[in-house]
Amino acid sequence: MIKLSEQEMKLKIIKPVSLYIHIPFCRRRCNYCDFNTFANMETFIPDYVRVLREELRGAGSAISENEYIHSIYFGGGTPSVLSGKDFEDIMTEVRADFTLFPITEISMEVNPGTVSPDFLQEIFHLGVNRLSIGMQSSNPEELRTLGRIHDPFDVINSIKWARIAGFTNISLDLMFGLPGQTLKSWQNTIEFALRLKPTHISLYSLTIEEKTPFAKWQFKGLLSGAEEDLSADMYEYAMTTLPKVGFLHNEIYNWAQLGGSNLDHRCRHNLQ
């Protein structure tokens, strides 16, 4: 890898590109999830990392000379089920095969209940500088309905450990329109999230997808999502509340804190 200085970058005609790296493993598959994910298959992780490195080498050889990586996003699945050593191997490959900007945004999705202080310190030292934490709700019953493996205290600990490790750019994912969710519960979730002082918030309306447990339960009459008007009220509450505390609504479901070039917390990978 050739890492250019900021001055050298200014003298070249460059094309910023992004790299998405999918980690398809989960501790448990959530009841609403239809993503390309697999639970209880951790024994395949070493083989997956090996083949992923081969894929990265192929992608790196195909990239043009004026294309530079300005954002890397580890999505899933649950990337945080891999070990720090796994990510060291992956990042070594990335740096060998691609040219990175002097400051590259490296995001990783993590789930509360799958991270430890040591893991967060390891990935921070490997260059990961942005976390997207799957909080989803502050209501324990809603989390159980979703099939999440964490509780609200795990969210608090994840953010505390992340800040100790050195992370300053932390996003929280929240979900609305959940079965049994009330407007008051949603307001409590927003307030809980804001007390944790994230720099970015992503809000997602529940969509019941085919072949998920939610879809099967809905077909049997055992489950129903929130009414459309209630979901709209939840979204409107976020639209009016978040700007009051410094969040700019910069995409349909994304809000970021802004405060100058050094405090622009919009997700660079999303903007790509």
For 153-167, what is the mean pLDDT? 98
pLDDT of residue 7: 57
Token pair, residue 224, equals: 């129903």
- Provide the 8-state DSSP code for 263: G
Q: Greater confidence, 7 or 140?
A: 140
pLDDT of residue 92: 97
Q: Greater confidence, 206 or 2?
A: 206
pLDDT of residue 57: 96
For 246-251, what is the mean pLDDT? 90
Of all residues in the chain, what percent carry a pLDDT higher than 90?
72
**Can you name the CATH fold of 6-271?**
TIM Barrel (3.20.20)
pLDDT for residue 1 is more than 50 = no
Contact 183, 237 (CB under 8 A): yes
Token pair, residue 129, equals: 């500088």
Give the torsion through C-alpha atoms of 129, 83, 133, 24, to 10 deg. Answer: 110
pLDDT digits (tens, 9 = 90+) for 36-54: 888 889 999 999 999 999 9
Residues pairing with 133 in the sheet: 110, 172
Token pair, residue 109, equals: 């999705």
pLDDT for residue 10 is more than 60 = no
Q: Greater confidence, 219 or 56?
A: 56
For 177-205, what is the mean pLDDT? 96
CA distance 232 to 230: 5
pLDDT for residue 161 is more than 80 = yes
C-alpha 99: how far from chain center: 23
For 74-95, what is the mean pLDDT? 96
Contact 171, 140 (CB under 8 A): no
pLDDT for residue 2 is more than 80 = no
Confidence band for 205, pLDDT divided at 50, 70 and 90? very high
Q: Where are the domains of the chain?
A: 6-271
Token pair, residue 112, equals: 């509360």
CA distance 228 to 207: 11
Contact 247, 263 (CB under 8 A): no
- Provide the 8-state DSSP code for 4: P
CA distance 159 to 106: 17
Average pLDDT, the chain: 91
pLDDT of residue 135: 97
Contact 127, 167 (CB under 8 A): no
C-alpha 63: how far from chain center: 25
pLDDT digits (tens, 9 = 90+) for 89-118: 999 999 999 999 988 999 999 999 999 999
